[in-house]
Amino acid sequence: MICFWFLPLTKNQFMKQMALGLGIVILLLFLILKVWLLPQMEVATGYAAKKMCSCHFIDGRHPDTIQKQDLNMTFIDQTKTTFNYKDSTAESRLFGLAAQKARYKGDLGCVLIRGQDNYEAYLSPIDATGDQHRIQKDSTHFDEKVLAEAKNYAFLPEHQTRALVIVQNGKLLYEHYAPGYDSSSVFNGWSMTKSVTATLIGMLVEEQKLSLADTALFEEWSDDRRSISLKDLLQMQSGLYFEEKYDKISTATNMLFRSEKVADIPLSQALSHPPGSAWYYSSGTSNILSELIRRRIGNDLFYHRLPYDSLFHRIGMNSAVLETDESGTFVGSSFCYATARDWAKFGQLYLQNGSWNNETIIDSSWVAFVR
């Protein structure tokens, strides 16, 4: 037979044990909030503030539409955003426990504010090339049935397609937009921005400001990372640790939505593989490249004008806005906005081996290397 004895507790002893137990529960809840929940809430509010700011101030969309169409993911859909038009900010909050703010800075786009917000840099007037590079409509015959099938497939509800533009032989063959969008709407290119960054790198290589064989690229890399070459970065085989995950706290989400400077986190990572030995898709790599461009140019005015003077306006991508982080570095992995027609021009530039209107924009050898 098993017997249990319970020693009677005095009232003071009982209260002390209750207080101890309550303290442990509070501590555990605090740790869960700080270590697990709060970072996720910061990512959610950072994403919401940044998206609200860019879609509203750059594209002019109504906040209700942005909330419904762009913030419809679990957790993020619970954020509440308010706008302050005096300082051009959007601030998103979640359950009163986390809040993040983004500010529209004109030529720099919308910037997520994590620190003192003390970086101000605006481009001097840029000579955009107007309509001279506009894509002309193709008047040739095409198969209406085939295009209708393509459009119907692209715009199935589960695909959430907003724009379809088809260009053939450099001319606009067909376009269709979801309700609420048209040819003037600008769209975030997300990872198409990586191709813009690679293009800018190619221009610096042609000017001999960079070489594919360059190593010891950053002062911070005083260890075995000195052997990482520019080519390794471009081919995403640097060997640097990076976690390209967006459904949890990762180096990718911390980089984009919890940092003042997007290059800092990927630059600080250690090697998980020898350079050149393993491929891994890394948005961090593209932001390292963007930081490299900035340092090699060494002049922020020239740096911020580079994509516009050297690329966008030379091919008539006049709607394009390449956004920066709070420090002024272009978010070369993710944040470039342009109309669907202008994104098509960028693709057409590569189809034409880097040439536009008989002018070389990108050297054909760089186009071959990129391919």
Nearest-angstrom CA–CA distance, 285 and 271: 13
Q: Give pLDDT, residue 309.
A: 95
For residues 229, 232, 238 and 244, what is the CA-based torsion angle, rounded to 10 degrees?
Answer: 140
Task: Find the largest Cα–Cα distance for the chain.
Answer: 98
Q: Give pLDDT, residue 139.
A: 64
Nearest-angstrom CA–CA distance, 106 and 126: 13
Nearest-angstrom CA–CA distance, 252 and 257: 9
Q: At residue 292, what are phi and psi to the nearest 5 degrees?
A: -65, -45
Q: Give pLDDT, residue 130.
A: 46
Cβ atoms of 355 and 369 within 8 Å: the answer is no
Q: Give pLDDT, residue 192.
A: 98
In one-letter notation, the amino acid at residue 131 is D
CATH for the stretch 186-370: 3.40.710.10
Split the chain (371 residues) into runs of 10 and give each run's mean pLDDT: 60 68 64 70 96 97 96 93 96 93 93 86 52 60 86 95 92 93 97 98 97 97 96 98 95 96 97 97 98 96 95 96 96 98 97 96 97 90
Q: Give pLDDT, residue 236.
A: 97
Nearest-angstrom CA–CA distance, 113 and 99: 11
Q: At residue 122, what are phi and psi to the nearest 5 degrees?
A: -120, 145
Domain limits of the chain?
13-104, 186-370
Nearest-angstrom CA–CA distance, 102 and 89: 6
Nearest to 332 by CA among 261, 237, 246: 261
Nearest to 218 by CA among 115, 160, 287, 315: 287
Nearest-angstrom CA–CA distance, 241 and 224: 13
For the record, the structure tokens of 196 come out as 């813009």
pTM as predicted: 0.88
Beta bridge partners of 321: 337
- H-only helix segments in 207-246: 230-234
Q: Give pLDDT, residue 26.
A: 64
Q: Give pLDDT, residue 132.
A: 46
